Amino acid sequence: MRSLSSRLVVASHNPGKVREIASLLAPFGVEAVSAAELGLPEPEETETTFAGNAALKARAAAAASGLPALADDSGLEVFALGGDPGVYSARWAGPAKDFRVAMERVWSELQARGASDLSARFVCALALAAPDGAVEVFEGEARGSIVWPPRGDKGFGYDPIFLPRGGERTFGEMTHEEKLPLTHRARAFEKLLVALA
């Protein structure tokens, strides 16, 4: 499985995530179709690592569609919170997937612990699965720190409270084009391309 097909499934129902992955694939002439477009169910994320969940989602989408599938599992790790929310990043947003709730929870837990260290990182595991079940996983990270109050209405998820290292604007204040090369997803994708080269 050392090549990218001309068409693959992005195993996600998150429009922001699908858009980022489709943008990364576009220069290589790969058409990305989302799991949502194909009506594929979202498998329950039962693994305890980003890599495990990414592999689970990629295998399920590849098996259901008969196409290669690329899945991402990613989240925010805040060091003063012992790496939380981590693999539970989406769950912190609750059933309504309201990330304002999730961001408030991150900040209130930091305040409750009297944390002075606001360092954090976004982590991404990208899993590329073939319809026969073979899978490869590539991981990337973007380091930075938490800011409060949230800044910017671009991006998605925790972007408005994440200030990338060396930057002056949060991911939530950047355009899609400005943010993409700095992301954990882009860094994982670079590793995937090296493996495929």
Active site residues: 73
CA dihedral 82, 106, 47, 68 (to 10 degrees): -120
Which has the closest alpha carbon to 56: 48, 47, 65? 47
Angle at 121 between CA 25 and CA 146, to 5 degrees: 120
Go through the chain and tell me how many residues it has: 197
Task: For residue 43, give Cα distances in angstroms to 55, 71, 84, 94, 153.
Answer: 11, 12, 22, 17, 29
Which has the closest alpha carbon to 125: 72, 80, 88? 72
Task: Show the DSSP H helices in 27-114 as ranges.
Answer: 50-65, 99-112
- CA gap 157, 179 in Å, rounded: 14
Q: What sign for the dihedral angle of Cα 130, 135, 140, 146?
A: positive
